[in-house]
Amino acid sequence: MTEHTHQTGDPGAPFDDEIHTMDIVEAKGVIDAHDDLAEARSGADAAAERKQIRAERRRLLLRNPGFIIGMIIVLFWVLCALFPDLIAPWGENEVVRLDDGSTIPRARPSSDAWFGTDSIGNDVFSRVIYGARPVLIVAPIAAGLSVIAGALLGLTMGYLRGWVDEILSRVIEALLSIPVILLALMVLVVFGNTRPIIIATIALLFTPVVTRTVRSVVIAEAQLDYVTSAKLRGERSLFIMVREILPNVTGVLVVEFTVRVGYAIFTVATLAFLGFNAGDATAADWGLDVSNNYGLIQSNQWWPSIFPALAIATLVIAINLIADSIDQVSKS
Amino acid sequence: MLRFALRRLALALITLVILIFVIFLLTRVFPSDPARQLAGPFAPQERVDELNEQFGLDDPLWQQFGRLLVDVLTLDFGESFSQPGEQVVDLVRPALWKSTQLVLFALVMTIPISIAGGVIAARKKDTLLDRGIVTLGLASASIPEFVSGVLIQYVLGVRLGWFPAIATPPDDAGFLTTLDYLFLPALAIVTVYFGYIARITRAGTITALDSDYSRTAFMKGMTTTAVVRKHVLRNSLQPTVAVTGTQIGYLFGGLVGLEIVFNYPGLGRLIFRAATAPDFPLLQAGVITVAVIFMLCTLGADLLIAWMNPRARLNLGGQ
């Protein structure tokens, strides 16, 4: 999705009057080449202007309905993940007992259990609340690691080029030609089904696509005047990459991170559905709960699987709405 | 054109060899003592040695990798670990055929609907209809396949009872009955890929509608519909073709969850079972099959684009 999110940045978006970062960057480059005094002054101006743009973008984001709806849903799930015991009426492995002490396994949704109970007698609503936790621990960490790794690789490959870049580009192409889930299955089978390995696997498998995106942006940036003038000043490559180019690609990294979080949730849920949920068979986990209960749909016991499935759907849709609106605003 | 095709093919082959190497690392180099895993923890050492001998697991790694490449070329992946006596190829072939049927059916539905959706959204740019199509596409594309599968199975298969909820048609099923059984999993694929394809078509159409040749056509007095049909689609569909080609490969990844939900004996379910067994020869063969399909689809898409637009031949794939 990254690819076309980038290509479809809405050309008709009504924000054309805004100052483009690119203009400032170029202007700054030209002045850099002239003299130090002007550079210091323009540096301050450019910084002020950048700050203004950031404020403007924040304002646009807060008016974007997709962003607001997405944020509300994500915040709700984050609260569930942080304080499940405050929201859920029962524990994740607690059996629902009525006042007379009787249990009600396989009960339809009712006032005793809003989302019904599963075959063990656990409260489906409570399990859905607790189930936010594993997903929201694994996905953001994995996405963050992949963006850090991808940024470092993409920056180095895109700026230094050469044969290392050639070879790594081939490897990236190869890795991108296999669906992530299939590679993840193989890695997890070989290295084991534990939480750190799941995080590392997802981070590793997302790194190629982040690298490719960052690399292509860096290649474009490296042709701009401010980089040329930095080279003429005799700056070291490391300095140019970290201090000159990196600040200009942070927007791309932010979009990339949000998009990756969405995909990471997608992947974590699918892996849990396939039985790779860090080895805890009774913990509340959306993907695992769907997997344990979807077989009952045909006997019309839909609630233990449909509610966690809807939970997954709302969270990924919300993250994607946020990613999409950040992408739109940062293109404007 | 031929020159382009050959260079593009060479590039694809290099990619495939790198990928087979990665799969080789994961299935033969990193697993510690696969024969021991296969024989079970209490099997006598002689049994493990025997298996090592049988599958050539004691040979130097470069020899094993060379053998794997030959296996791929000759389509001979040897015997399955988990189903002794069965040739891997004989397990993969029927599963691949099943998945291909499902994917083709899904594509026949997805492609026209998504292209129409994308063109309509582009023509009604910035209206409520456009926003609706784009947001719906974004939302449905971001949901994991097994989730859409479960939701569709419940609503259309069980609650409304319009289609069979399980995708295992009887052996003597005719064409239409098979389609009936495949409809729900295919629909789940449609919901995921509609968003991708509609979005890219919309972007391509907007660009093409803004271009000089469209403006000229409009000034000649042509209607929008005629401009779209005669001038725009030919250009705007190029990114669509490219994305569709790439997505078919990824589609096979989504099949893992879907085929499990609908209990469909395809390649996805086969790979999943091979991974959990673990049956390394079967897993290798399954994943390499998906890689080859991906390679063929992207290659096909690139050649189609080159054929549609001679300019694309100049800038050889990649970069």
Q: What is the pLDDT of residue A44?
A: 66
Residues A107-162: pLDDT tens digits? 788 887 789 888 887 899 999 999 999 999 999 999 999 999 999 999 999 999 88
Residue of chain B minimizing CA distance to A269: B144
Minimum distance, in Å, between the CA of residue A298 and any CA atom of chain B = 6
Nearest to B143 among A294, A316, A324 (CB): A316
pLDDT at B50 (0 to 100): 77
Buried b (16+ CB within 10 A) or exposed e, A51-85: eebeeebeebbeebebbeebbebbeebeebbeebe
C-alpha span between B177 and B166 (Å, rounded): 13
Q: Which residues partner with A194 through β-bridges?
A: none
Helices and strands in chain A, H and E counts? 15, 0
* B174-188: pLDDT as tens digits: 788 888 889 999 999
Confirm if B227 and B159 have CB atoms less than 8 A apart: no
pLDDT, tens only, B143-159? 999 999 999 999 998 88
pLDDT for residue A307:
95
CB contact under 8 A, A8 and B202: yes
Among A12, A186, A302, select the one facing B275 at the smallest CB separation.
Answer: A186
Q: List chain B residues with CB under 8 Å of A181.
A: 253-254, 256-257
Per-residue pLDDT at B32: 65
Is the per-residue pLDDT at B105 higher than 90?
Answer: yes
Alpha helix (H) ranges present in chain B? 2-24, 34-39, 45-55, 61-74, 88-123, 128-142, 145-152, 175-209, 212-219, 224-227, 233-261, 267-276, 280-308, 311-314
The highest-confidence range among A29-33, B32-36, B40-44, B123-127, by mean pLDDT, is B123-127
At A183, list the tokens: 């590679």
Cis peptide before A84 (omega within 30 of 0): no
pLDDT value, residue A43: 59
Closest-CA residue of chain B to A266: B144
Q: Is the pLDDT of residue B57 over 80?
A: no
Q: pTM of the prediction?
A: 0.85
Which B positions 156-195 lie with beta carbon below 8 A of chain A?
A: 158-159, 165-166
Across the interface, whether the CB atoms of B239 and A173 are under 8 A apart is answered no
* Averaged pLDDT in 10-residue chunks for chain A of 332 residues: 35 33 38 46 68 84 90 96 89 84 82 83 91 94 97 93 90 87 90 92 95 93 89 88 88 92 94 88 89 88 92 94 88 72
In whole angstroms, give the CA distance from residue B154 to residue B160.
8
CA distance A83 to B21: 46
- pLDDT, residue A7, reads 33
- CB-nearest partner of A177 from B15, B139, B144: B15
Q: How many CB pairs under 8 A join A and B?
A: 163
Given this model, what pLDDT does residue A41 score? 53
Instruction: Find, in chain B, the residue whose alpha carbon is nearest to that of A193.
Output: B276
Query: What share of chain B has pLDDT > 70, as a percent?
Result: 95
Q: What mean pLDDT comes out for the span B268-278? A: 89
Q: Which residues contact B50 (CB under 8 A, 6 or more apart)?
A: none
The residue among B147, B152, B154 whose CA lies nearest residue B185 is B152
Return the number of other C-beta atoms located less than 10 Å from residue B213's C-beta.
12
Q: Give me the DSSP letters along B228-295.
A: IIIIIHHHHHHHHHHHHHHHHHHHHHHHHHHHHHTT--SHHHHHHHHHHTT-HHHHHHHHHHHHHHHH
| B147 close contact with A: CB closer than 8 A | yes
A290 contacts in B (CB within 8 Å)? Answer: 146-147, 150
Is B10 in the A-facing interface, judged by CB distances under 8 Å? no
**pLDDT over threshold 60, residue B287:** yes
pLDDT at B317: 45
Tokens at B183, concatenated? 């409809």
- Asked if B150 and A294 come within 8 Å (Cβ–Cβ), the reply is yes
Question: Measured between alpha carbons, how far is A47 from A38 in angstroms, rounded to an integer?
Answer: 14
Which tokens in the block code for residue B149?
């599968």
Angstrom distances, CA of residue B20 to CA of A19, B8, B29, B65? 48, 19, 13, 9
- Which chain A residues are within 8 Å of B125, Cβ to Cβ? 12
**Could you say which DSSP state residue B143 is in?**
S
Cα of B222 to nearest chain A Cα, Å:
23
Q: How confident is the model at residue B103 (pLDDT cuts 50, 70, 90)?
A: very high
